[in-house]
C-alpha cells in the first residue's frame, strides 16, 4: 500500500483525527481508482473504519467530510461554504463567531486544533533565552497557543537561528489597531532574537475572495506595507512581498508552491477549509501559496538556498488551518515543520463575540482616526461591562471580563500594576465606565498619532527597499 501520510505524529486532537480521516478517504479512493490489490484496498478500508470509530469515540460525533469537529454535537461552520449546522465558537480564516460575551473559548480551541497552551514555564523560558522581559502579549496570554516553541528555543540555545514569517491579507486601505497585534509582537521577536523576517501580503488571496480587481489588491498591499513598516521593522532584517509580484519574480518560491500543490489533495483542503465543488480553482490552490514562505529555500536571496532553517510564524489563531496543512506537507517534501505562536482575536468595539470588520468604520479604531474620532468612537460604541446607573455601579461594580475598553487596555497599556489596579477598581465600582473609557482614550490617542507620524516618514523609496528581494542580515 502506498503511504501518502508521511511521518505523521500520533493522533492527539479531534481536528487532527478529522484531517487524518480526510486523508485516509483519499487513500481509499486512490486505491480504488488504481484498481489496487484487494488486500491493500481492504487494509485501507479497515483503517478508515477504525479511524471513524476512534473519531466517534473522541468527539461523540459521526465523521462527515466537510464538517470539522466541534466541542458540541452541533457542528460549527468551518469554512465559507461547509454545509454544517450552526454551533458555538466558529473559527477559520474567513469567519470568527461565538455567542459568549467574553469571546471565544480559547482553551477549547487548543484542544480542537491540537496545539499547545503557552504556559508560564514557556514564557519564563522565552525570557531566559532572549534575556528580555517578555512582551505584554506573552505576559497576558494574548499569544496563548503554540506549536513547537520549545524546539525553536532548544535550537536557538545551541546557536541555531531561525526566521520569522507573518503576513496580511490586504483587503482594503484601512487598517485598524487590531491588525497591528501580530506586527507589534513580531517586531518584538525580531528585536530580541535578532533574526530575519519575511512578511507576505496576500493580494492574490484578496483578489480571489473579494469583489476587487487585481490592481486594487496590489495597491492595498503597498498601502498596507506603509503601516507595517511604521511599526518599526529593521530594513536590514525584513523582507515584505506582494504575492502578485514575488510569485513571478522568484523561481524558488514557485517551485515550493508546486511541490506543496502536488502533496495536498482536494479532499484535504475541503476538509480543512470547507471548499466546495463550486469554489474557483484559485481558492483551492491558494493555501499552497500561504504555505510556501514557511520554507527557507523560498528565499534564496536571504538564506542562500538552504532549506533547513526553522521558521516561526506569529499569527492570529484563525490562520492555523493554513499551517496545519503546511506542517502536514513539510516532512513529505523534505522540509522542517514551521513552529507557531497563536494570538487571540482583537475584539470589535461592540463586543468580543466577533472579529472586527474593516468595512464597518465604527467597529474599531482605525490607524487614520483623529484624536476626536477615537474619543467619540470609544465613548459611543465601546461595549461596557458597567452598570446602568452610577448608583448601581458603585454598589455592584462592573464586569471587566466583557468590557471592551478594559480588553483594549490589556492589549495596549504597558504597566501591569496599573492594569491590575484598573481591573480591581472597576470590579469594585470605584472606577466608573466613563473614567475607564477616558484611560483608554488617553492611551490610544498618542499611540495612533505616533503611528501616523512614523507612517508619514515612509517614502516610496523606503517601500521599495523593504519590498526588493535582497540579502538580509543573517548569521547562522
339: helix, coil or strand?
A: strand
Q: How many CB atoms lie within 10 A of CB 349?
A: 20
Residue 218 beta carbon to ligand TRP: minimum distance, rounded to whole angstroms: 15
Contact between 290 and ligand TRP (CB under 6 A)?
yes
Q: Is 92 a residue that touches ligand TRP (CB under 6 A)?
A: no
Q: Three cell numbers at 418?
A: 496599573
Query: Nearer to ligand TRP by C-beta: 76 or 182?
Result: 182
To the nearest whole angstrom, how small is the minimum distance from the Cβ of residue 198 to ligand TRP?
9
Shortest distance (Å) from residue 456 CB to ligand TRP:
25
Nearest to 333 by CA among 438, 233, 259: 259
- Please, which residue, 290 or 364, has the CB nearer to ligand TRP? 290
Residue 200 binds to ligand TRP (criterion: CB under 6 A): yes
Cβ pair 21, 48 in contact under 8 A: yes
**Shortest distance, CB of residue 127 to ligand TRP, whole angstroms?**
24
By CB under 6 A, tell whether 227 contacts ligand TRP.
no
What does the block give as the cell for 108? 477549547
Q: How far apart are CA 252 and CA 300, in angstroms?
A: 7
Residue 51 near residue 20, CB atoms below 8 Å: yes
Q: How far is CA 278 from CA 204, 220, 282, 467, in A?
A: 19, 27, 11, 35
Q: Give how many residues touch ligand TRP by CB under 6 A.
A: 13
DSSP class of 11: P
- Interface with ligand TRP, residue 196, by CB under 6 A: no
Taking CB under 6 A as the rule, does residue 203 contact ligand TRP? no
Q: Return the number of the residue (291 or 436) whose C-beta is nearest ligand TRP.
A: 291
Binding window for ligand TRP (CB under 6 A); candidates: 10-18, 83-91, 198-206, 453-461: 198-206
Q: How far is the CB of 387 from ligand TRP (least distance, A)?
A: 37
Q: Does 205 bind ligand TRP (CB under 6 A)?
A: yes
Asked if 96 touches ligand TRP (CB under 6 A), the answer is: no
**Helix/strand/coil for 64:** strand
Q: Residue 246 and residue 250: Cα distance in Å, rounded?
A: 6
Interaction of residue 166 with ligand TRP, rule CB under 6 A: yes
**Can residue 67 be called a binding residue for ligand TRP (CB under 6 A)?**
no
Q: In the numeric block, which cell numbers belong to residue 28?
A: 481509499
Residue 314 phi/psi, 5-degree rounding, is -85, 130
169 touching ligand TRP, by CB under 6 A: yes
Please give the Cα distance from 167 to 67 (Å, whole number): 27
Least distance in Å: CB of 413 to ligand TRP?
25
Q: Does 168 bind ligand TRP (CB under 6 A)?
A: yes
Cβ 182 to ligand TRP, closest distance in Å?
A: 6
Stretch that binds ligand TRP, among 113-121, 160-168, 266-274, 376-384 (CB under 6 A): 160-168
Residue with cell 480504488: 32
Q: 309 to 368, contacts with ligand TRP by CB under 6 A?
A: 313, 315, 319
Beta carbon of residue 141, minimum distance to ligand TRP (angstroms, whole number): 19
* Integer Cα distance of 190 and 237 in angstroms: 8
Q: How far apart are CA 37 and CA 44, in angstroms?
A: 11
Nearest to 116 by CA among 347, 355, 339: 339
Whole-angstrom distance, CA of residue 27 vs CA of residue 30: 5
Give the residues lining the site for ligand TRP (CB under 6 A): 93, 165-169, 200, 202, 205, 290, 313, 315, 319
Amino acid at each position: 500500500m502506498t503511504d501518502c501520510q508521511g511521518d505523521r505524529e500520533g493522533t492527539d486532537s479531534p481536528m487532527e483525527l478529522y484531517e487524518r480521516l480526510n486523508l485516509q478517504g483519499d487513500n481509499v479512493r486512490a486505491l480504488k481508482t488504481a484498481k489496487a490489490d484487494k488486500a491493500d484496498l481492504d487494509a485501507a478500508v479497515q483503517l478508515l473504519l477504525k479511524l471513524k470509530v476512534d473519531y466517534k469515540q473522541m468527539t461523540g460525533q459521526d465523521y462527515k467530510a466537510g464538517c470539522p469537529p466541534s466541542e458540541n454535537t452541533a457542528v460549527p461552520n468551518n469554512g465559507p461554504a461547509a454545509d454544517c449546522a450552526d454551533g458555538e465558537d466558529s473559527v477559520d480564516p474567513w469567519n470568527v463567531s461565538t455567542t459568549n460575551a467574553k469571546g471565544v473559548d480559547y482553551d477549547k480551541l487548543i484542544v480542537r486544533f491540537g496545539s499547545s497552551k503557552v504556559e508560564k514555564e514557556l514564557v519564563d523560558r522565552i525570557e531566559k533565552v532572549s534575556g528580555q522581559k517578555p512582551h505584554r502579549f506573552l505576559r497576558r496570554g494574548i499569544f496563548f497557543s503554540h506549536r513547537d516553541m520549545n524546539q525553536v528555543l532548544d535550537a536557538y540555545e545551541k546557536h541555531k537561528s531561525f526566521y520569522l514569517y507573518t503576513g496580511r491579507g490586504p483587503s482594503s486601505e484601512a487598517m485598524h489597531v487590531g491588525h497591528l497585534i501580530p506586527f507589534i509582537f513580531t517586531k518584538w521577536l525580531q528585536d530580541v532574537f535578532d533574526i530575519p523576517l519575511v512578511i507576505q501580503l496576500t493580494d492574490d488571496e484578496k483578489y480571489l475572495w473579494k469583489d476587487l480587481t487585481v490592481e486594487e489588491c496590489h495597491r492595498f498591499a503597498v498601502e498596507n506595507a506603509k503601516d507595517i513598516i511604521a511599526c518599526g521593522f529593521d530594513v536590514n532584517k525584513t523582507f515584505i512581498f506582494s504575492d502578485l509580484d514575488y510569485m513571478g519574480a522568484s523561481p524558488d518560491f514557485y517551485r515550493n508552491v508546486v511541490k506543496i500543490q502536488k502533496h495536498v489533495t482536494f479532499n484535504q483542503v475541503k476538509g480543512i477549509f470547507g471548499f466546495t465543488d463550486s469554489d474557483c480553482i484559485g481558492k483551492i490552490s491558494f493555501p499552497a501559496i500561504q504555505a510556501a514562505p514557511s520554507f527557507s529555500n523560498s528565499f534564496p536571496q536571504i538564506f542562500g538556498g538552504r532549506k533547513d532553517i526553522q521558521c516561526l510564524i506569529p499569527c492570529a489563531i484563525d490562520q492555523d488551518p493554513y499551517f496545519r496543512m503546511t506542517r502536514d506537507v513539510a516532512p513529505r517534501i523534505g522540509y522542517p515543520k514551521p513552529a507557531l505562536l497563536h494570538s487571540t482575536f482583537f475584539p470589535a468595539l461592540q463586543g468580543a463575540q466577533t472579529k472586527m470588520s474593516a468595512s464597518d468604520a465604527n467597529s474599531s479604531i482605525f490607524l487614520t482616526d483623529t484624536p476626536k474620532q477615537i474619543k467619540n468612537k470609544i465613548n459611543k460604541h465601546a461595549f461596557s461591562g458597567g452598570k446602568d446607573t452610577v448608583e448601581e455601579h458603585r454598589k455592584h461594580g462592573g464586569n471587566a471580563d466583557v468590557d471592551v475598553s478594559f480588553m483594549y487596555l490589556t492589549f495596549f497599556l504597558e504597566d501591569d500594576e496599573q492594569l491590575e489596579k484598573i481591573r480591581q477598581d472597576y470590579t469594585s465600582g470605584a472606577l466608573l465606565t466613563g473614567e475607564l473609557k477616558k484611560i483608554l482614550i488617553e492611551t490610544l490617542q498618542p499611540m495612533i498619532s505616533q503611528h501616523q507620524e512614523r507612517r508619514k516618514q515612509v517614502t516610496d523609496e523606503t517601500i521599495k527597499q523593504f519590498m526588493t528581494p535582497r540579502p538580509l542580515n543573517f548569521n547562522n
